[in-house]
């Protein structure tokens, strides 16, 4: 009897184990990457090395000969390839589809009254990037192509923009990617639309007052919880509730610094309210390097967006200087910070195209940032800043298998990422289809288009931009303005993907046709319908 019961329990136990084992994690193959040059970032490079990946982690790594290859390992021949930790982009805009901001005309002063407004209602510090997770279609492939395996994604708009999420880009489904949520509260030195604060000076006062109010709210709540008798119960305030973990409990806050004065503003607030905060954006940080040295305990994230801010003197002293600023001076930001002994992470924040990330890292290196520093600034340093360095940011046994294999040294002109591992899952980088040709014409500009279908004809205007054979832009119709993405002009063959929003629903609509210098013709397909599109170029100077 006893043994039967035991056997039953054992069986049940085994079943449960099996069940949990299968449902808890995807089963990933064991890999042995052989014969590659390993750059662990923490520790010396290994010329001819082996990395063993098991269960999503780096089991072991070391020089050839010292590491034995397990029987169940799939061998990945990596002769002539370099192995690096997967790059961490500690603040990116390129991954998610963020909701488009309603362009309602702020009927300026619509609700302005002499009474202090419900200004808090206009803010959304509780907006979670986690809830907005809708990765762009080609985002995963684009980022893997550059070697980025981990991204921090934050809501971008508003003074209190919301709270960010840290993702390991291990596929197309959102939830399994999440490493940490929330990571930080994101603050911009911008204004609220249509309400207070409508100016930067107002925003500064508003930030201070909201920090004071959060502290007050928290102390009142704790006083009430200690002895409620005789005290009015605290009013629930969702805005202050959202701020409480950051202002009182000192969870991290990211201050987005568009210019050098923003950096000063942020440091002032950090000091005044003893915040645990990071500086991000900061593409002219070098200009206040001395101040940053004094505040070296504040983590610095520096954007690879080299566009000088509008306030910069480099922008309003003539075209020549403006160009020099964009091409030489601002790209040297990281190099200059490094020269002053400052540590920072490099981010893609503000960049509109994934290709620009690599281009701009290369520019930063060309203007004087040592390559090893660039690599550190996208691996171990952001990992440390974000508190994940115990399992990310370098190639060490026990850490997560986020590895990139490149042909050529990383960031080199000719180097290409061949394969990427994220959480031990292998992604081979696809080459562009052989059939793609360079474009035969330049179709950038404004076009007047007529779309005809069984339901009739309608007019629209297209604005196209061309970068090599990549086409992007937008098409304006009576129903709104739709984004044109993923366009390829191969010879005279044009293929576009249009993100059409009709009655609140967004769907992708495909166009395929031919393009000449002044005319475009083709077919739009949408579900089972197809429509003809004919477009003529609008010459400059006319409307």
Partner 1 sequence: MQRKNIGIILVVSLVVFSSFSFGQDLLIKNGTILTVTKGTIPNGDILIIKGIIKQIGENIEAPKGIKIIDASGKYVIPGIIDSHTHIALTGTNESAEAITAEVKMRDVLNAEDRSIYTAISGGVTMVHTMHGSGNPIGGENIVIKTKWGKTSEEMIVHSAYRTLKFALGENPKRANSPAVGTLRYPQSRMGVNAIIRREFLKAKNYMEQWDRYLKAKKSKKPPKNLILPRKDLRMEQLADMLRGKMVARCHSYRADETLEFIKLSKEFDFKIACFEHASEAFKIAKELAEEKIGISVFLDNWAYKVEASEGIAYSAAYCTKNGVLVSINSDSNERIRRLFNDAAKAMKYGGLSEEEALKLVTINPAIQLGVEKIAGSLEVGKHGDIAIFNEHPLSAYTLCEKTIIEGEVYFDRAQYLKEREEMEKKKKEEEKKKVKKGGTK
Partner 2 sequence: MTKRILVFAAILIICASLCLAQEKRTSVIAIKGANIIPVVGEDISEGTILIKNGLIEAVGKNVDIPQGAKIINAEGLFAYPGMIDGSCYLGLQEIGSIRATVDYRETGRINPQVKTVEALRPDSMHIPISRSNGITAALVAPSGGLISGQSGLIRLVGWTPEEMIIKSSVAMHIQFPSLPRLRRRGETQPREEASKQITELKEILNQARYYQKGKDAAKKNLGLRLPEFDEKLEFLLPVVNAELPVMISVHAEKDIKAAIKFVKDEKLKAIFLGVTEGWKIAEDIKKSGIPVVFDSLNSVPPKWEDGYDAFYRNPGVLAKAGVKFAFSSGSASLAKDLPYFAAKAAAFGLDKKEALKGVTIYPAQIFGVDKMMGSLEKGKLANIVLADGDMLELRTNIKHVFIDGKEVDISSIYTELLEKFKKR
**Residue ranges that bind partner 1, judged by CB under 8 A:** 107-110, 112-114, 116-117, 192, 195-202, 204-205, 208-209, 212-213, 216, 219-220, 223, 227, 229-231, 261, 264-265, 271-272, 288, 311-313, 316-317
Q: Do β-strands 445-453 and 185-188 pair in parallel, antiparallel, or remain unpaired? A: unpaired
Interface with partner 2 includes 68 (CB under 8 A)? no
In angstroms, the CA 480 to CA 503 distance is 10
**The three-state (H, E, C) secondary structure of 464-512, written as one string:** EEEECCEEEEEEEECCEEEEEEEEEEEECEEEEEEEEEECCEEEEEEEE
The residues, any chain, with a CB within 8 Å of residue 6's CB and separated by 6 or more, are: none
Q: Give the nearest distance from C-beta 91 to partner 1 in angstroms.
A: 23
Give me the residue label for tokens 């080199």.
412
Q: Which does 35 bind (CB under 5 to 8 A by kind): partner 2, partner 1, none?
A: none
Beta-sheet pairing, 301-303 with 345-347:
parallel
Query: Shortest Cβ distance from residue 316 to partner 2 (Å)?
Result: 3
311 binding partner 2? (CB under 8 A): yes
Closest to partner 2 by CB, 245 or 445: 445
**CB nearer partner 2, residue 311 or residue 476:** 311
List beta partners, residue 62. 50
Phi, psi of 446 (to 5 degrees): -105, 140
- Any contact of residue 310 with partner 2 (CB under 8 A)? yes
Instruction: Give the residue with the Cβ less far from partner 2, 116 or 539.
Output: 539
Cβ closest to partner 2, residue 325 vs residue 422: 325
Shortest distance, CB of residue 155 to partner 1, whole angstroms? 22
- φ, ψ at 381 (rounded to 5°): -65, -50
Output the smallest distance, CB 146 to partner 2, in A. 33
Residue from 319, 238, 250 nearest 278 by CA: 250
114 binds, among partner 2, partner 1, none (CB under 5 to 8 A by kind): partner 1
Q: Which window, 160-168, 214-222, 308-316, 415-423, contacts partner 2 (CB under 8 A)?
A: 308-316
> Binding-site residue total for partner 2 (CB under 8 A)?
9
Q: What's the distance, Cα to Cα, between the start and end of the chain in Å?
A: 92
Q: Kindly state the tokens that stand for 199.
A: 């100016």
Minimum distance, C-beta of residue 309 to partner 2, in the bound complex (Å)? 10
Cα(138)–Cα(151) distance, integer angstroms: 15
Q: Pick what 47 binds: partner 1, partner 2, none; C-beta below 5 to 8 Å, kind-dependent.
A: none
- Residue 118, φ and ψ in degrees, nearest 5: -80, 65
**CB–CB of 171/189 below 8 Å?**
no
| Residue 541 binding: pick among partner 1, partner 2, none (C-beta 5-8 Å cut-off by kind) | partner 2
Q: Report cis status (omega within 30 of 0) of the bond before 182.
A: yes
219 binds, among partner 2, partner 1, none (CB under 5 to 8 A by kind): partner 1
In the bound state with partner 2, the residue whose beta carbon lies nearer, of 321 and 441, is: 321
Among 65, 435, 504, 541, binds partner 2 (CB under 8 A): 541
Least separation in angstroms between residue 541's CB and partner 2 is: 6
Query: What is the closest distance, in whole angstroms, from the C-beta atom of residue 314 to partner 2 in the complex?
Result: 11
Residues 312-331 touching partner 2, rule: CB under 8 A, are: 313, 315-318, 320
Q: Report residue 106 as tokens.
A: 């702020």
DSSP helix/strand/coil, 105: coil
When the beta carbons of 27 and 313 are compared against partner 2, the nearer one is 313
How far, in Å, CA of 362 to CA of 371, rounded? Answer: 9
Cα separation of 15 and 66, whole Å?
39
318's contact among partner 1, partner 2, none, with CB below 5 to 8 A by partner kind, is partner 2
Least Cβ distance, residue 456 to partner 2 (angstroms): 34
Give which of partner 2, partner 1, none residue 272 binds (C-beta under 5 to 8 Å, depending on kind).
Answer: partner 1
When CB distances are held under 5 to 8 angstroms depending on the partner's kind, the choice from partner 2, partner 1, none that residue 229 binds is partner 1
Query: Smallest distance from the beta carbon of 250 to partner 1, in angstroms?
Result: 19
* Residue 499 binding target from partner 1, partner 2, none, CB below 5 to 8 Å by type: none
User: Binds 151, which of partner 2, partner 1, none (CB < 5 to 8 A, cut-off by type)?
Assistant: none
CA 361 to chain centre: 15
C-alpha–C-alpha distance, residues 107 and 111, integer Å = 8
16 CB neighbour count, 10 Å cutoff? 10
Cα–Cα–Cα angle for 85, 91, 92, rounded to 5 degrees: 95
Q: Indicate the Cα dihedral angle 382, 383, 388, 394, nearest 10°.
A: 170
- Report CA torsion sign: 223, 227, 232, 235: positive
State which residue, 3 or 227, has the beta carbon closest to partner 1. Answer: 227
In the complex, least distance from residue 200 CB atom to partner 1, rounded to whole angstroms: 5
At closest approach, how far in Å is the CB of 259 from partner 2?
11
CB of 97 to partner 1, least distance (A): 31
Count of residues for the chain?
543
539 binds partner 2 (CB under 8 A): no
| 80 vs 318, beta carbon nearer partner 2 | 318
Question: How far is residue 354's CA from residue 138's CA, in Å, rounded to a whole number?
Answer: 10
Q: List beta partners, residue 34.
A: 77
SS3 assignment, position 102: coil
The residue (of 115 and 320) whose beta carbon lies closer to partner 2 is: 320
Query: Counting contacts by CB under 8 A, is residue 200 touching partner 2?
Result: no
Closer CB to partner 2, 173 or 313, in the complex:
313
| Residue nearer to partner 2 on the CB measure, 290 or 320 | 320
How far apart, in Å, are the Cα atoms of 172 and each of 137, 148, 168, 178, 214? Answer: 9, 15, 11, 12, 38
Pick 1 or 313: Cβ nearer partner 1: 313
Write out the residues near partner 2 by the rule CB under 8 A: 310-311, 313, 315-318, 320, 541
């Amino acid at each position: 009897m006893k043994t039967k019961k035991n056997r039953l329990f054992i069986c049940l136990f085994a079943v449960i184990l099996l069940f949990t084992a299968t449902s808890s994690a995807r089963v990933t193959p064991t890999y042995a990457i052989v014969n590659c040059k390993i750059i662990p970032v923490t520790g010396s490079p290994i010329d001819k090395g082996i990395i063993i990946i098991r269960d999503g982690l780096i089991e072991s790594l070391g020089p050839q000969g010292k590491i034995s290859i397990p029987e169940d390992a799939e061998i990945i021949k990596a002769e002539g390839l370099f192995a690096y930790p997967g790059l961490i982009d500690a603040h990116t805009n390129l991954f998610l589809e963020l909701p488009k901001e309603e362009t309602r005309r702020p009927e300026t002063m619509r609700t302005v009254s002499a009474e202090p407004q419900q200004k808090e209602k206009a803010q959304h510090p509780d907006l979670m990037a986690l809830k907005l997770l809708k990765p762009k279609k080609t985002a995963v492939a684009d980022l893997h192509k550059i070697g980025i395996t981990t991204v921090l994604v934050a809501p971008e708009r508003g003074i209190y923009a919301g709270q960010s999420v840290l993702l390991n880009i291990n596929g197309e489904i959102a939830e399994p990617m999440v490493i940490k949520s929330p990571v930080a509260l994101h603050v911009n030195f911008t204004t609220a639309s249509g309400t207070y604060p409508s100016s930067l000076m107002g925003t500064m006062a508003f930030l201070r007052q909201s920090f004071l109010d959060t502290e007050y709210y928290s102390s009142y709540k704790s006083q009430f919880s200690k002895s409620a008798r005789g005290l009015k119960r605290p009013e629930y305030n969702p805005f202050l509730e959202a701020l409480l973990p950051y202002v009182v409990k000192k969870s991290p806050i990211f201050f987005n610094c568009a210019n050098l004065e923003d950096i000063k503003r942020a440091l002032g607030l950090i000091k005044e309210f003893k915040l645990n905060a990071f500086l991000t954006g900061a593409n002219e940080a070098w200009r206040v390097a001395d101040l940053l040295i004094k505040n070296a305990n504040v983590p610095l994230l520096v954007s690879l967006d080299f566009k000088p801010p509008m306030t910069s003197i480099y922008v309003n002293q003539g075209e020549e200087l403006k160009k020099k600023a964009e091409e030489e001076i601002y790209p040297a930001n990281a190099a200059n910070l490094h020269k002053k002994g400052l540590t920072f992470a490099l981010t893609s924040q503000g960049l509109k195209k994934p290709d620009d990330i690599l281009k701009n890292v290369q520019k930063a290196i060309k203007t004087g940032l040592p390559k090893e520093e660039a690599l550190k600034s996208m691996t171990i340093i952001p990992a440390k800043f974000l508190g994940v360095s115990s399992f990310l940011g370098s190639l060490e046994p026990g850490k997560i298998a986020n590895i990139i294999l490149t042909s050529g040294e990383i960031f080199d002109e000719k180097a290409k990422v061949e394969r990427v591992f994220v959480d031990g899952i292998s992604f081979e980088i696809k080459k562009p289809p052989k059939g793609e040709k360079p474009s035969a014409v330049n179709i950038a500009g404004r076009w007047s288009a007529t779309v005809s279908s069984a339901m009739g004809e309608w007019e629209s205007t297209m604005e196209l931009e061309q970068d090599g054979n990549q086409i992007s832009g937008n098409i304006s119709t009576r129903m709104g303005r739709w984004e044109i993405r993923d366009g390829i002009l191969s010879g005279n063959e044009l293929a576009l993907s249009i993100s059409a929003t009709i009655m609140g629903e967004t769907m992708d609509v495909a166009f395929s046709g031919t393009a000449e210098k002044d005319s475009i013709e083709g077919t739009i397909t949408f579900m089972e319908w197809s429509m003809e599109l004919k477009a003529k170029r609008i010459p400059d100077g006319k409307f």
